Amino acid sequence: MPISISIIQTGKIKCRPSMLQQPADRPIWLRRLHVLTDRSWAEPIPVQVFLISHPEGYILFDTGLSPHTKDRDYFPSWMPTFHLTSKFDINESQGIGVQLQEKGIEPKDLKAVVISHLHYDHSGGLPDLIDAPIFLLEGDYEAFKEPVHATFEGATPRQWPKNFHPSFLKESNSHIGPFEQSYPITADGRVVAVQTPGHVPSHCSLVVFAEDATYFLTGDATYSQEYLDNELTDGVNETPMQAIETLKKIKELARQMPLVILPAHDKNSPKRLQERVAYKPTAI
């Protein structure tokens, strides 16, 4: 059975344009102020989860948005910025648990669920997936361990299942292009995580070496292939220069081998996956 990837969309988010992109050299306080005072809305972006079918089992990359994000009490009342800066478009049937069930896949059937980072739109499906082995970088778990800080940083720890005890990705000594460390997910080394910090201090992306192409599942290391190519970073992170370094590494890897780039929020990811369009980086 060849390795294949399918994209599952868990709703859409409409947010402020200043959240999607701001200059990397702008001071952090000014970046945040721009988000808080921005009154315009960007086009809605999809929240996509990636299901990898591999001979060793199914691997899910991220868990998407929860249908409950529209509920009044999903986000803590003391942190109104979630609802003030974002609007959610998702119904009950678009949660990851229901969509996996429709495919005949139970959480216990999954070999691994890998979380790129714990922001609410990547961890929203955790309650549906608690019976699956869940993996993430230890640094990301540490960064979001303290609930008040985690909430300020865009996570919803009180929505995580009580028995949420993820396993940490284990590094191997083999590098992948400019990425010094890799974290194998499958024994055959064809699905591996790499560190792509910047959007959050500890963030991972997945590289899938399928028979037909090599796929780079960015998570939120970039919101789109266009942003990647132009080395543009989002407006919500606190380490924009590190985010740009990560983009340069992804571009470097794409120069070393043909890569199909699949960001979590890029509306063009499904078409690129279907047509296996390799990314050709332009020099900045």
Nearer to Zn ion, 99 or 224 (CB): 224
The distance of closest approach from Cβ of residue 188 to Zn ion in the complex, given in angstroms and rounded to an integer, is 29
Residues within window 217-276 making contact with Zn ion, judged by CB under 5 A: 220
Contact status, residue 216 vs residue 256, Cβ threshold 8 Å: no
Nearer to Zn ion, 63 or 186 (CB): 63
The distance of closest approach from Cβ of residue 19 to Zn ion in the complex, given in angstroms and rounded to an integer, is 10
Contact status, residue 202 vs residue 143, Cβ threshold 8 Å: yes
Nearer to Zn ion, 140 or 190 (CB): 140
Radius of gyration of the chain (CA): 18
| Stretch in the footprint of Zn ion (CB under 5 A) among 66-74, 121-129, 231-239, 249-257 | 121-129
**What letters, b where the CB count within 10 A reaches 16 and e where it falls short, cover 239-261?**
bbebbbebbebbbebbeeeebbb
Number of residues that bind Zn ion (CB under 5 A): 2
Q: Is 153 in the site for Zn ion (CB under 5 A)?
A: no
Region at 226 (left for phi over 0; alpha for psi -120 to 50; beta for the rest):
alpha
Instruction: Identify the CA nearest to 127 among candidates 113, 117, 146.
Output: 113
Contact residue for Zn ion among 62, 121, 234, 266 (CB under 5 A): 121
Residues within window 4-33 making contact with Zn ion, judged by CB under 5 A: none
Nearer to Zn ion, 22 or 186 (CB): 22
CA dist list (Å): 180 to 195, 221, 223: 9, 17, 23
Nearer to Zn ion, 140 or 220 (CB): 220
Region at 62 (left for phi over 0; alpha for psi -120 to 50; beta for the rest):
left
| Residues binding Zn ion (CB under 5 A) | 121, 220
